[in-house]
Structure 1
Amino acid sequence: MTQLDHDIGRAIADVTRNGRHLSTVIDELFTAYRPDADTAADIRSRIVEAVRTMPEWLRQRIRAAYGDKATRILEALRSEAPVFIRVNTLKTTDRDALRALRDAGAEPTELEHCLVVARPFGLYRRQSFRDGWFEQQDISSQRVALSMDLAPGMRVVDACAGNGGKTLHMAALMGNRGRIIALDPYAEKLSTLRSRAARAGVSIVEPRAITSTKTVKRLAETADRVLVDVPCSGTGVLRRNPDIPWHLTDASIGELVSLQRDILRRSANCAKPGGLVVYASCSILPEEGPDQIRTFLDQSPFTLESEWASMPDNAPHSGDGFYCAVLRRNP
């Protein structure tokens, strides 16, 4: 065994036993060894493949939820995710975006609402990206904003805006007309959102830090649409972030479910009577999806209008695992 082999094993243990982040341990190895491109690819592949072997407690949860389908789901979660691109229609057209991607050698394929490009592709190094023409966003994630029945001039509350991926998509669907209140407790995420909005040519977003429960209470019954994209286990996006399960425990899933329930309850009150609340979770666990919504509907004056779920599989254009429910507040 070489020293590199030993250090790769230690890096794997740092993720699976000590909870360190995958990107961090890989960067440390690259810094220490300064490998050529082929060696770097081999190092990354060996570590990622080992980390994809998720903890047994999570495997058991998935088997309990999906029975005979679990084996196929677990296999799909170990695969590479496609690269999906959302065209920013505030800055360009689909035709010009396709031409720019082809000129860059990206080999784009047109799907119903987005593009998928072949790997590898340095999107973030392209001038067209810096000019705000594109966002890298999974096809299932894009489907969330498309489920909101948005129109120009609406007032929208994004209750868990984060870095703003869905916020910017909503702004584009609204033609940059109306207002989006983007809430998040983390100032650094809202700072990133501001930068991304400027690049995307979005001016209708108002980032607002959640400093207390009053931040949300002041928005009671003011919004035509409310997006509640809750913090979750991330089990639907393991293809992109295979180290996620190593930062979770079986007990922490219950803690997340309680947090989601509280966020949904508080945020849903921002909707006007007759307005829509869209709940989204990038989890494949039922307790973070349909079970959460059934509990909410039993206790709240809302009606379920529609719901959908996506599951990663080995199809060429398979999106991430998501659950989404569209709820209407009773008049």
Structure 2
Amino acid sequence: PPRSDLPRYLEIVESHPRWLVEYMIDMFGEEEAEALCRADNRIPTITLRVNTARTDAPAMLEKVLSREGTGRLSERFPEALVEVGVPYEALLEWLEQGLCVVQDESSMAVSRVVDPQPGETVVDACAAPGGKSSHLALLGGEDCRVIAVDRNQRRLKAMKKSIDRQGLKNVEMVKGDAARLSGVVGEQADRVLLDAPCSGLGTLRRNPELKWRRFPGDIANLATVQLKLLMGCADVVRPGGVLVYSLCTFTREETVQVVEAFLERRQEYRLEDLSSLLPKTLRDEVAREGYLQLLPHRHDMEGMFIARFRREG
């Protein structure tokens, strides 16, 4: 198809469903929509987050290089290695030893924005597979208590194995529904993270099949669920505490519109600017309202929306 018919061109050449191409063009304009479609089709490299209770990133990089692998230290996060290429058996060995986990930098940004502190109680409300829970446990230190909640028992079991491999003693796992979080946790928390189930459209580099499994109607349905979850999580945050809402997508309905609907319903919450909690290279990306939208074509990481609220009082 001719480039003059860009929606059709991107649908065929960049292999994206027509509705999604049109959505991207409407949201980002033609040039950026094309760049995003291209980025979605690039094969991503592996990013590792080092278990800082056992080793550090420079030492982990030495291990990678000693196995004739490739990689470099992240410029954004001191606990990360990016562009890692290494024999599969070596990676498997390090995962089994609990030296590292495979995690995108956008997910690391989420835990950094939660900013857990020693002595605090932090709830990760939709926790499985547990990458953010383990990161929160390390960032907060062993005196920080992380309660990891998920409704799927099988995923919690897999998560427990990962947490045990990493030797983290400050993570408790609880089965329950984030929409009714106060009934699950039974106490108030200093910080709550809701990394909500979503359309996943920010992760198409790693999950290309998702774009064919999503339809326009899904977005509104997901936004309804996300708002319900956020309302449930809001009940557990102590006055003066922090609530972080994150999801690996970019649709307005799931991101900004959920935030606006939440603030309308919960007047005791306000949005906080999260720039100071981000690496310098990302601070300029924060919107005027204080939230952050990461995108593959702009930041070379998975698409991720992050908003941070403070409960007044």
Q: Is the CA contact 2:179–2:228 (under 8 Å) kept in the aligned structure 1?
A: no
In the alignment, which residue of structure 1 is the partner of 2:27? 65
The sequence identity of aligned pairs, in percent, is: 31
Q: Is the CA contact 2:156–2:173 (under 8 Å) kept in the aligned structure 1?
A: yes
TM-score (norm 1): 0.79
| 1:245 partnered with 2:207 | no
| 1:305 partnered with 2:272 | yes
In the alignment, which residue of structure 1 is the partner of 2:42? 79
In the alignment, which residue of structure 2 is the partner of 1:282? 248
SS class of match (2:82): strand
Return the offset for 1:94: 2.5
Per-residue Cα deviation, 1:160-192 (whole angstroms, up to 9, x for no partner): 002101011111111232211111111111011
CA distance in 1 between partners of 2:143 and 2:58 (Å) = 23
Per-residue Cα deviation, 1:218-245 (whole angstroms, up to 9, x for no partner): 5466101100000000000000000012
Structure having the higher Rg? 1
Q: Is the CA contact 1:159–1:184 (under 8 Å) kept in the aligned structure 2?
A: yes
Segments of 5+ residues of structure 2 without an aligned counterpart are 1-11, 274-290
Taking a change above 3 Å as real, the CA distance of residues 292 and 229 of structure 1, as seen in their structure-2 partners, is same
Per-residue Cα deviation, 1:5-53 (whole angstroms, up to 9, x for no partner): xxxxxxxxxxxxxxxxxxxxxxxxxxxxxxxxxxxxxxxxxxxxx9972
SS class of match (2:114): coil
> Which of residues 282, 302, 306 is equivalent to 1:320?
302
Taking a change above 3 Å as real, the CA distance of residues 158 and 212 of structure 1, as seen in their structure-2 partners, is closer
| 1:196 partnered with 2:162 | yes
In the alignment, which residue of structure 1 is the partner of 2:286? none
Q: Is the CA contact 2:196–2:246 (under 8 Å) kept in the aligned structure 1?
A: yes
Return the offset for 1:211: 6.0
| 1:206 partnered with 2:204 | no
SS class of match (1:291): helix
Taking a change above 3 Å as real, the CA distance of residues 60 and 70 of structure 1, as seen in their structure-2 partners, is same
Taking a change above 3 Å as real, the CA distance of residues 212 and 229 of structure 1, as seen in their structure-2 partners, is closer
CA distance in 2 between partners of 1:201 and 1:191 (Å) = 15
SS class of match (1:108): strand
| 1:178 partnered with 2:144 | yes
C-alpha RMSD over aligned residues: 2.1
Instruction: Identify the range of structure 1 (297-306 vs 122-131) with the bigger mean alpha-carbon deviation.
Output: 122-131
Please tell me the residue identity of whatever aligns with 1:268: A
CA distance in 2 between partners of 1:163 and 1:249 (Å) = 25
Return the offset for 1:282: 0.1
> Which of residues 198, 209, 223 is equivalent to 2:189?
223
TM-score (norm 2): 0.84
CA distance in 1 between partners of 2:89 and 2:120 (Å) = 32
CA distance in 1 between partners of 2:178 and 2:309 (Å) = 25
CA distance in 1 between partners of 2:296 and 2:38 (Å) = 9
Aligned residue pairs, count: 280
Please tell me the residue identity of whatever aligns with 1:55: P
Q: Could you list the runs of 4 or more consecutive aligned residues of structure 1 that deviate by over 6 angstroms after TM superposition?
A: none
Segments of 5+ residues of structure 1 without an aligned counterpart are 1-49
CA distance in 2 between partners of 1:325 and 1:214 (Å) = 21
Return the offset for 1:216: 3.3
CA distance in 2 between partners of 1:51 and 1:240 (Å) = 19
Q: Is the CA contact 1:217–1:270 (under 8 Å) kept in the aligned structure 2?
A: no
Please tell me the residue identity of whatever aligns with 1:204: N
| 1:143 partnered with 2:143 | no
Return the offset for 1:125: 4.3
Please tell me the residue identity of whatever aligns with 1:103: S
SS class of match (2:70): coil
